[in-house]
């Protein structure tokens, strides 16, 4: 390959909210697809055994699940453009059973994939600058981000440029692609934590410093069978040291993290074993010894990557807010949806809209190809073609004009996407569970559907208020049950599916791990138990108090009685 294509990329209209690939990025993806095509051919011909093929397919996001292969496609920092969304719809139609599933790490999974189709699927993804690199394996996974980044009124700075820098830096990283275990980084630019920074291997909070961007760094948080809230490692890390410091942090982990026991291999276990001070000392020693100039992130590099991001031309009419207020007064159902499914925007006359993928009785995070296409169309019409996936398994249109919000809502209704339940009891997170996953002990989806149907009444949901239910089908905690206000964990009791309840968890700035309420229950009793918990809360709450706060104020005894005293 000639050196000239390494020159600065040509200018053009960049997609809003994410990095625009150039020919070098595309050539790299092409090489990666051809590498995998070669590996699949070797597997199908028998040259590669399944044992040898497994690590190679996992590095391309291809899992062998209970019934079929599952392909996990990366959505870097949760941002897509409408062209990419339409290709995902195409793949769902052509190679899957006409739907996809958005995950808690802002990715999308296709559950019914044939091995021989995967090179073609990856090639089609590459035509829209997408891939499945590092969506699996013991490497640095997709970097996740605030779903309201670049739009939220409470944000200090848009963290997506740094998320992209971390995506590039971690892509086929020569030293960190065979770590003791998977490694997850989240980045936020708001003091209101919407990325669960304290539940990641590394959580970064970006903010403006006196001399440019700085980062607060958290390390060693996580869920799984040992849930731990991350340690606050340092404040005000200068931007130019960002990569050097991350290199030092992950090197210490690569060298000292446990490799003898898969359940003790995450960085959280190392940080606990060394203690926060012990780990910090090792990182500081590495940071002091390394060639810092080599790993320096200069402001010109940040600026060059920032220049590849499209920005929305925000220009709402001066009466946009007024017109929205009028539409809300005229239409109670719309007014309800605005109350629950929108988020304040930094620019006057704009608002962020959340499209719920949690219909009454539905499967959290699933979307049909027709819905994916509809979202792509609506993003183009209402939000500069930009689409965001949230770790709550919903979709966000970031920049909607307030005077156009009613029209958007009507279109969403036609596509079956206007559920007004964001942040409410119907906005359930669930992992795929035993319906798909070979690790699961229990099915997560049916219980999510039953709860969603039980609390479908929108008046009831709004009366209950902010209440997050999170469901995992096994101890690996992909449904983040530890961080649910109400967490549900599927367990296997002598071949039967039971569910353990935890209360009081939170992934937000008040991060906490939920506490087990009592003995596990069968599925139907679990649904009843949650209804009893909600009843007890409604009786005992003070004005405006969230379920979580009532639990924290009154303790577990009252809720324990509500569930178990009747039994």
Partner 1 sequence: MPLLENGRIVEDFWTTIGGDELLPPTGPVIVPLDRLEDGLARPAGEKLGVALPPDAEIAVLRAALPRLALVGVTFPTFRDGRAFSQARALREHLDFAGDIRVTGRPLPDQYEFLLRCGVSTVQLPDGADPAVWARAHERFTTAYQPAVRDERAEGFGLRRFLA
Please tell me the distance from the alpha carbon of residue 336 to that of residue 332, in angstroms, as a whole number: 6
C-beta closer to partner 1: residue 291 or 543: 291
Cα 452 to Cα 339: distance, rounded to the nearest angstrom = 19
> Which residue, among 97, 187, 88, has the nearest Cα to 140 in the 3D structure?
187
Contact with partner 1 (CB under 8 A): which of 173, 328, 381, 532? 173
The strand pair at 62-64 and 69-73 is best described as antiparallel
Q: Which is nearer to partner 1, 25 or 377 (CB)?
A: 25
Smaller CB separation from partner 1, 90 or 171: 171
Residue 478's nearest CA partner among 27, 141, 235 is 141
- Answer yes or no whether residue 177 interacts with partner 1 by CB under 8 A: yes
| Choice between 181 and 388, CB closer to partner 1 | 181
Nearer to partner 1, 139 or 527 (CB): 139
Q: How far is CA 348 from CA 151, 322, 368, 512, in A?
A: 11, 11, 34, 35
Query: Whose structure tokens read 């050097």?
Result: 244
Site for partner 1 in 420-439 (CB under 8 A): none
Name the residue nearer to partner 1 (CB basis): 302 or 442. 302
Half-sphere exposure of 477 (CA within 13 A, CB side): 20
Report the nearest approach of partner 1 to the CB of residue 40 (Å).
14
Smallest separation, CB 101 to partner 1 (Å): 28
Q: Considering CB under 8 A, how many residues would be counted as binding partner 1?
A: 43
Q: Cα dist. 493→481, 490, 515, 519, 520 in Å?
A: 19, 10, 20, 11, 9
H-helix or E-strand spanning residue 372: helix 369-382
- Per the CB < 8 A criterion, the answer to whether 20 and 12 are in contact is yes
The full DSSP string for 95-116 is HSSSEEEE-TTS-EEEEEE-GG
Give the SS3 label for residue 389.
strand
Is residue 27 at the binding interface for partner 1, with CB under 8 A as the rule? yes
Pick from 6, 44, 273, 567 the residue near partner 1 by CB under 8 A: 6
Residue bearing tokens 């500069």: 384
Cβ–Cβ < 8 Å for 153, 70? no
Query: Does 55 interact with partner 1 (rule: CB under 8 A)?
Result: yes
Among 16, 33, 40, 56, binds partner 1 (CB under 8 A): 56
- For position 112 contacting partner 1 by CB under 8 A, the verdict is no
Closer to partner 1 by Cβ: residue 77 or 99: 77
559: helix, strand or coil = helix
One of 41, 44, 172, 330 touching partner 1 (CB under 8 A): 172
> Are residues 497 and 443 in contact, defined by beta-carbon separation less than 8 angstroms?
yes
Tokens of 455: 């609390």
For residues 179 and 140, give the distance between their C-alpha atoms in angstroms, rounded to a whole number: 8
Q: How far is the CB of 1 from partner 1 (least distance, A)?
A: 4
Comparing CB distances to partner 1, the nearer of 90 and 177 is 177
The residue among 195 and 243 lying less far from partner 1, judged by its C-beta, is: 243
- Shortest separation between residue 59's beta carbon and partner 1, angstroms: 8
- Residue 400 in 3-state DSSP? strand
Site map (CB under 8 A) of partner 1, residues 300-329, x = contact: -x--xx------------------------
CA distance 207 to 216: 8
In the complex, least distance from residue 386 CB atom to partner 1, rounded to whole angstroms? 22
- Cβ nearer to partner 1, comparing 53 with 498: 53
Stretch that binds partner 1, among 31-39, 75-83, 96-104, 498-506 (CB under 8 A): 31-39
Tell the smallest beta-carbon distance from residue 245 to partner 1 (Å): 14
For 340, list phi and psi in degrees, rounded to 5. -95, -35
CB 284 to partner 1: min, Å:
15
- Give 273 or 539: the residue with its C-beta nearer to partner 1: 273
Distance from C-alpha of 30 to C-alpha of 42, rounded to nearest angstrom = 19
- Cβ 448 to partner 1 shortest distance, Å: 34
Q: Does 64 contact partner 1 by CB under 8 A?
A: no
Positions 234 through 263 that interact with partner 1 (CB under 8 A): 243, 251, 254-255, 259
Give the interface with partner 1 as residue ranges (CB under 8 A): 1, 3, 6-9, 22, 24, 27-28, 31-32, 35, 55-56, 59, 138, 165, 168-179, 243, 251, 254-255, 259, 289-291, 294-295, 301, 304-305
């Amino acid at each position: 390959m000639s050196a000239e294509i390494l020159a600065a990329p040509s200018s053009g209209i960049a997609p809003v909210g994410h990095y625009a690939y150039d020919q070098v990025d595309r050539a790299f993806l092409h090489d990666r697809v051809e590498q995998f095509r070669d590996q699949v051919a070797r597997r199908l011909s028998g040259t590669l055994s399944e044992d040898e093929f497994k690590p190679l397919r996992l590095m391309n996001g291809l899992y062998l699940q209970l019934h079929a292969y599952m392909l996990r496609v990366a959505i870097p920092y949760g941002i897509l453009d409408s062209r990419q969304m339409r290709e995902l719809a195409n793949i769902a139609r052509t190679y899957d059973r006409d739907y996809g599933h958005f995950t808690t790490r802002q990715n999308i999974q296709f559950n019914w994939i044939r091995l021989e189709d995967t090179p073609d699927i990856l090639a089609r993804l590459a035509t829209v600058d997408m891939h499945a690199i590092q969506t699996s394996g013991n490497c640095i996974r997709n970097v996740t981000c605030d779903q309201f980044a670049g739009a939220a009124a409470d944000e200090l700075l848009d963290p997506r440029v740094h998320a992209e820098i971390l995506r590039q830096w971690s892509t086929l990283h020569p030293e960190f692609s065979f770590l003791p275990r998977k490694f997850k980084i989240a980045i936020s630019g708001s003091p209101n934590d919407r990325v669960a920074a304290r539940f990641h291997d590394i959580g970064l909070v970006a903010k403006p410093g006196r001399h440019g961007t700085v980062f607060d760094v958290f390390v060693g948080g996580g869920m799984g069978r040992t849930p731990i809230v991350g340690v606050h490692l340092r404040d005000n890390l200068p931007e130019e040291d960002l990569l050097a410091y991350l290199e030092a942090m992950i090197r210490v982990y690569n060298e000292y993290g446990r490799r003898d026991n898969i359940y003790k291999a995450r960085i959280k276990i190392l940080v606990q074993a060394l203690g926060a001070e012990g780990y910090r000392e090792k990182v500081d020693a590495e940071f002091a010894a390394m060639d810092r100039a080599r790993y320096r992130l200069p402001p010109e590099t940040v600026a060059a990557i920032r220049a590849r991001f499209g920005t929305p031309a925000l220009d709402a009419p001066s009466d946009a807010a007024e017109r929205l207020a009028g539409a809300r007064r005229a239409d109670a159902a719309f007014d309800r949806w605005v109350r629950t499914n929108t988020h304040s925007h930094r620019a006057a006359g704009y608002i962020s809209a959340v499209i719920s993928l949690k219909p009454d009785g539905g499967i959290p995070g699933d979307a049909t190809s027709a819905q994916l296409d509809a979202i792509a169309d609506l993003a183009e019409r209402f939000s500069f073609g930009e689409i965001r996936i949230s770790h709550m398994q919903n979709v966000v249109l970031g920049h909607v004009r307030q005077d156009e919000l009613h029209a958007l809502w009507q279109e969403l209704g036609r596509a079956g996407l206007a559920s007004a339940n964001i942040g409410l009891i119907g906005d359930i997170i669930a992992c795929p569970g035993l319906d798909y996953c070979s690790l699961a002990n229990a099915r997560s989806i049916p219980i999510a559907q039953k709860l969603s149907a039980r609390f479908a009444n929108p008046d009831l949901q709004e009366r209950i208020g902010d209440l997050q239910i999170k469901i995992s089908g096994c101890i690996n905690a992909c449904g983040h049950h530890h961080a649910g206000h109400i967490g549900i964990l599927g367990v296997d009791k002598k071949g039967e599916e039971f569910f353990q309840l935890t209360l009081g968890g939170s992934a937000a700035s008040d991060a906490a791990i939920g506490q087990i309420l009592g003995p596990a229950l069968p599925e139907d009793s679990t649904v009843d138990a949650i209804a009893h918990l909600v009843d007890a809360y409604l009786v005992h709450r003070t004005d405006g108090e969230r379920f979580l706060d009532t639990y924290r104020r009154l303790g577990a005894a009252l809720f324990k009685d509500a569930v178990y005293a009747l039994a």
